[in-house]
Amino acid sequence: MQALLPFFQWCNDTAIGAAIRNSRVLFPIIETIHLLALTILLGTILVIDLRLMGAGLRRQSQPSVARALSPLTFWSIVTMLVTGFLLFASEAMKSYESPPFRVKMVTLALALLFHATVFCSAVKSETLGRLRSTATGIVSLALWFGVAVAGRAIGFY
Amino acid sequence: MTLAGFCQWLQDTPWGTGIRESVWVFPIVEGTHVLALALSVGILVVIDLRLAGVLMRRQPVSQISNQLMPWSLAGFAIMFVTGALLFWSQAVKAYGSIFFRIKIALLILAGINALVFELTLRRTVADWDHDETPPFRARLAGVLGIVLWAGVIAAGRTMAYNL
C-alpha cells in the first residue's frame, strides 16, 4: 500500500478535491447523487439476480429482462464511479487510513470483473442450467451488496 | 405532552438510549436502512418505469408489477422497521431537522400517490395492461413515484449532515 501513497496524496491535492473539501454543500450533494445512483444500480441488479435465481419475473425471458435493465445498470455504475471518485478525492488521505475503504475497493474490483465476464454472458443465455444461473445470481448479489456494506462502513469507522 | 416533549421522552427510553449508544446496533440498523433502499425503492423504480412506458414496454404491466411488488413491499417493511428504530434513538434531532420534516411530507405524498393509483387506475388495468404507452394518468403516477421517492432519499441523506 505504501507505493500508492503518492497517488492518494495527489488526489487529495487536486483542485476539485480541495474545492469539495472546503465547501459545506458540495459533499452532501455529490453523496446524495451517489446514493440515488446506488438505489438504481442495486435495484436493477437485484431484479436481474432475482430472475437468475428464478425468484422474480419468471414469466419474462432472462435475456429480455437483462436487455431492458442493462442500460440503467451501466449508467448508474458510471454515475457511481464519477461521484465516488469525487468523494474520494475530497478525503483521499482519510480514505488511505480507512480499512473499510480498502475492503470496498477490492470488492468493487471483484464485482466489476464478475459483472463484465460471468454475469454479462450468463444473463444473455436462454439455456443456462438452473444451478449455474442461481449461483451467478447469488455471487452477483453478494459482491454488489458487499461493496455497498463496505462503502457505508467508511462513514462509520 | 407536546410533540417535542414526546420526542425527548422517546429517545430517553432504555431502547432509544441503547440503540444510540451501542457500538454495533446503530451502524447495523442504519446500514440495513440504506441497503434496503435497493429492495424497496430500487425495485419500485423498475415497476414505475414500466408504468411510465419507458421499460419492458412489450410486457404486460400487471405481470411486471405482480411479480416484483412483493419484493418491493418486503423492502419497504424493512425500511419502516429500521427507520422507526433510528427515529426512536434520535427523535429530538429528527424533530428539529427541517430535512426530516421534508422527508415525512414527501413520504405522505408518495403514499397518497400509491393509494390513488391502487383505488382508481389499478381497477382498470385490464383495459391497458398491454399498452406499450399506458394512459397519461398511469404514466404520471409512475413518474411521480420516482420523483417523490428520490426526494425522500435526498432529504433522508441530508438530514444526517446537520446542515
d(CA A94, CA B132): 49
Predicted pLDDT of residue B20:
92
Q: Which residue has the higher pLDDT, A126 or A38?
A: A38
For A3, the 3-state DSSP assignment is helix
Mean pLDDT of B108-125: 94
* Mean predicted lDDT score pLDDT of chain B: 94
Half-sphere CA count of A157, side-chain side, radius 13 A: 18
- What average pLDDT does range B70-93 have in this prediction? 96
The pLDDT tens digits for A82-104 are 999 999 999 999 999 899 999 99
In this model, does residue A25 exceed pLDDT 80?
yes
CB contacts, 8 Å: B161 with chain A: 28
A152:B38 CB<8 A: no
Task: Among A53-57, B70-74, B124-128, name the most confident range.
Answer: B70-74
Give the span between the Cα atoms of A96 and A92, in whole angstroms.
6
Dump pLDDT digits (tens) for A36-84. 999 999 999 999 999 999 999 999 999 999 999 999 999 999 999 999 9
Q: Which of A36, A53, A77 to mutate to test the interface with B (most CBs of B within 10 A)?
A: A36
Min Cα separation A147/chain B (Å): 11
Quick one: pLDDT band at residue A155, thresholds 50, 70, 90?
confident
Query: Using 50, 70 and 90 to split pLDDT, how confident is the model at B90?
Result: very high
Q: How far apart are CA A21 and CA A61, in angstroms?
A: 47
Least trusted range by pLDDT, from A126-135, B47-56, B103-112: A126-135
- Whether residues A28 and B63 touch (CB distance < 8 A) is answered with no
C-alpha cell at B33: 436502512
Q: Where are the domains of chain A?
A: 2-156
Residue B122, pLDDT above cutoff 90: no
**Model confidence pTM above 0.90:** yes
Going by the DSSP 8-state scheme, the letter that residue A124 receives in this structure is: T
User: Chain A residue with minimal CA distance to B24?
Assistant: A156
What is the C-alpha separation between A110 and A116, in angstroms, rounded? Answer: 10
Nearest CA of chain A to the CA of B1: how many Å? 35
Quote the pLDDT of residue B163.
58
C-alpha cell at A99: 480499512
**What is the percent of chain A where pLDDT is above 70?**
99
Q: According to the model, what pLDDT value does residue A1 have?
A: 65
Q: What is the DSSP string of chain B?
A: --HHHHHHHHHHSHHHHHHHH-TTHHHHHHHHHHHHHIIIIIHHHHHHHHHTTSS-TTS-HHHHHHHHHHHHHHHHHHHHHHHHHHHHHTHHHHHH-HHHHHHHHHHHHHHHHHHHHHHTGGGGHHHHTT-SS--HHHHHHHHHHHHHHHHHHHHHHHHTTT-
pLDDT above 70 (res B5): yes
Contact list, B27 vs chain A (CB under 8 Å): 152-153, 156
Rounded Cα–Cα distance for residues A44 and A65 (Å)? 10
Q: How far is A141 from chain B (nearest CA, A)?
A: 11
The band of B15, judged by pLDDT with boundaries at 50, 70 and 90, is very high
